Structure 1
Amino acid sequence: MNAFCSLAGESPAVSVLVSLNIRPYVSAVSAMTDVFKAEGGSPSVFFMADFPGKSQKILKEKLGKAGGQIFVAVGPEAARFLWTHFQDRPSPVIYTMVLNPEQISAGPAPRCGIPLQIPVQAQVRLIGRTLPGVKRIGLLYDPKYNTAFFNRARESATIEGLQIVPLEISSKKEIPGLLEKEWASVDCLWMIPDRTIISESVIQYIIKESLLNKTPVIGYNRFFYESGAALSFIFDYETLGVQTARLVLSIAGGEPCRENDPEFQVWPNRRVIEKLGLAYAEDPEP
């Protein structure tokens, strides 16, 4: 008996709620669905965009009829909706592709899913071992949003024999002056998801200035790589979908709910690395 049959008889065992109809989410859901179908399941997929405003009551009713199904929330809006309306159900709500899920849940921090964040220690380790010449890592962030990230990064850097140099800002306007003052203090510039900095034009400006100052940028998605970051941590959304489906199946089979680190890739930009004359480890020790 497969995991789907063990859950719900003839009804679909899984209901998937998707925050937005955008390519990353759609790619993940498509891959997720393929895994479920291979296991003999037929998941129900709902897009929140199909239930705007007051019609979300209809969405709640449709999901409520799912009975003993497992719910999967793709993205923060879907997670917030399910945690608000269905947190007390005996069957779990599993989230995926959610950044900082603990900031969304009104109750205890959810521990059942895949957050869209790579463990800080893993990032620090990979920066230091992929670019062995880098010792002083400048972390650009707004303390309002990422003080906890900075503290974890500083602790991890100490373990790796590295130093995190805090580059704190509270508005985009502060970035040019801060960078001009700090270029000599850092060996690389590490950019992380931050509400104050998240802007394509700002990212492109920072990377341009970094290259002019012979300082590599570490980024967190494909846009950074294409814009000239020396090293980028990349999520493949289909891979995340497959990983999520496997987590769902393991829980359906009786495994306890847990939070899993997301699978990710490290993309070195060899053209930029060579241009900057950086030492580079092709296959760094994990």
Structure 2
Amino acid sequence: MRSTMRKDAVVPPKKFKGTILVFFLWSLFSALLHAEEHNTDVAVIVSSQIRPYVMALEGLRSSLQQPLKIYYLNLNPELIRHNLSQEHHDLLIAIGPEASVLAWSNLNPGDKKIALMVLDQQKLLEDPEPCGVDLRIPIKEQIKLIKERLGGRRKIGILYNPMENRGWVEQARRHGSDLGVSVIPLRVHNRHEITKVLSSAYQDIDTLLFIPDSTVISMALLSHLVKDALLHGIAVVGYNHFFMEIGAVLAFNIDYERVGILGAELARDVLSGSKCRLTPPPFHIEWSEKVWKTINDYSGSLKSRSSGDVP
């Protein structure tokens, strides 16, 4: 008896069957990749339990989604050094400068390792091509954003110790020139010079950019410097939320949790055999309209006084 087929029967086309096969193979590949990721031995060394490091660790754990051996360096540094010399890990992730220095000094150059929450990694780790997320926001991007927000041909003063930030400020001058912005270096060698150098510079600058610098950055001193700059109509730009609390008009805030998430992406690249890279930090901008109005009011009063002096 010859078989017949109903006219309304649904017959999957060959293209549809091929799609099912591709989907099945991709699901199998994903499952194998997931299993391989979970079979890797990944250790994390955290310098301490301060909030930025904890946030980066949370971002790393939530995104990497695999068991991690976590060590806190400040709790038992000698034990961690011993473990590093005795154990082998497929990947070591260091969070914070102390943890990163320990990892780079104890592991072989070919060992897989990532550094997070570290400023100027090449210099600190003496490695021209480290793998990780730098905490230094690219200066060209900072100057560009300052110009976009504050407008005009800005005259940006930067307080810094040349022993620590000479190269960085030289870069700032070059990029500023390309963007039509003047960068005025304000060199200091100790904290006793800061107030005098800044007071002398007020007539030459309209913006004061703070950068990470161990000579300049002091919580007790910063509050005074920012308030004094504001009294002279100088727009202050900082690199974290604290500057907004003490009177800055603009701040570049690094997202520490996203640093950890970015670290997880790098970890997957490293474990899959891809070449790692040093990437800039994710950040967002904070802006104070109230402070900006104060600065504009100051500038307006200066112009009024100047025009009033003209006979």
TM-score over 0.5 for the alignment? yes
What TM bracket, shorter-length normalisation?
A: 0.7 to 0.9
- The percentage of aligned residue pairs carrying the same residue is 30
Instruction: Compute the displacement of 1:252 (Å).
Output: 2.1
The aligned counterpart of 2:36 is 6
Instruction: Compute the displacement of 1:7 (Å).
Output: 5.2
The aligned counterpart of 2:237 is 218
In 1, are the aligned partners of 2:206 and 2:233 still within 8 Å (CA)? no
The aligned counterpart of 2:280 is 261
Question: Over residues 192-248 of structure 1, what are the superposed CA-to-partner deviations in whole Å (9 max), with x where a residue is unaligned?
Answer: 000101111111011010111011111011111111111101012111111111221
Task: Report the TM-score, using the length of structure 2 for normalisation.
Answer: 0.81
Correspondence 1:142 to 2:164: no
Instruction: Mark the structure with the bigger radius of gyration.
Output: 2
CA distance in 1, matches of 2:33, 2:230: 52
Shift of the 2–91 alpha-carbon distance from structure 1 to 2, 3 Å rule, reads farther
The aligned counterpart of 1:65 is 87
CA distance in 1, matches of 2:289, 2:153: 16
The aligned counterpart of 2:171 is 152
The aligned counterpart of 2:62 is 34
The aligned counterpart of 2:11 is none
- Aligned pairs for 1:40-59 (under 5 A) are 41-52=66-77, 54-59=78-83
In 2, are the aligned partners of 1:31 and 1:239 still within 8 Å (CA)? yes
Residue 277 of structure 1 aligns to a residue in which SS? helix
The aligned counterpart of 1:94 is 114
Which AA in structure 2 matches 1:49?
Answer: N
Correspondence 1:201 to 2:217: no
Instruction: Compute the displacement of 1:256 (Å).
Output: 1.1
CA distance in 2, matches of 1:127, 1:174: 26
CA distance in 1, matches of 2:146, 2:41: 41
In 1, are the aligned partners of 2:38 and 2:67 still within 8 Å (CA)? no
Correspondence 1:118 to 2:137: yes
Paired residue for 1:276, among 295, 300, 306?
295
CA distance in 2, matches of 1:269, 1:168: 28
In 1, are the aligned partners of 2:56 and 2:259 still within 8 Å (CA)? yes
In 2, are the aligned partners of 1:4 and 1:252 still within 8 Å (CA)? no
CA distance in 1, matches of 2:153, 2:295: 12
Question: Over residues 122-151 of structure 1, what are the superposed CA-to-partner deviations in whole Å (9 max), with x where a residue is unaligned?
Answer: 111111111103511111111111100111
In 2, are the aligned partners of 1:3 and 1:253 still within 8 Å (CA)? no
Instruction: Compute the displacement of 1:8 (Å).
Output: 6.6
CA distance in 2, matches of 1:223, 1:59: 38
Instruction: Compute the displacement of 1:65 (Å).
Output: 2.1
Instruction: Compute the displacement of 1:32 (Å).
Output: 0.9
Greater helix share, structure number = 2
Structure 2 unaligned runs (5+)? Answer: 1-30, 298-311
CA distance in 2, matches of 1:72, 1:2: 23
CA distance in 1, matches of 2:63, 2:155: 43
In 2, are the aligned partners of 1:137 and 1:165 still within 8 Å (CA)? yes
In 2, are the aligned partners of 1:218 and 1:229 still within 8 Å (CA)? yes
Shift of the 104–87 alpha-carbon distance from structure 1 to 2, 3 Å rule, reads farther
CA distance in 2, matches of 1:239, 1:164: 30
Instruction: Compute the displacement of 1:173 (Å).
Output: 1.2
Instruction: Compute the displacement of 1:6 (Å).
Output: 2.8
Shift of the 156–6 alpha-carbon distance from structure 1 to 2, 3 Å rule, reads same
In 2, are the aligned partners of 1:51 and 1:58 still within 8 Å (CA)? no
CA distance in 2, matches of 1:259, 1:180: 38
Question: Over residues 89-114 of structure 1, what are the superposed CA-to-partner deviations in whole Å (9 max), with x where a residue is unaligned?
Answer: x44111111001122224x3233111
Task: Report the TM-score, using the length of structure 1 for normalisation.
Answer: 0.88
User: How much is the aligned-residue C-alpha RMSD, in angstroms?
Assistant: 1.8
Question: Over residues 8-40 of structure 1, what are the superposed CA-to-partner deviations in whole Å (9 max), with x where a residue is unaligned?
Answer: 73xx53211111111110111012111122xxx
Structure 1 unaligned runs (5+)? Answer: 279-286
In 2, are the aligned partners of 1:14 and 1:70 still within 8 Å (CA)? yes
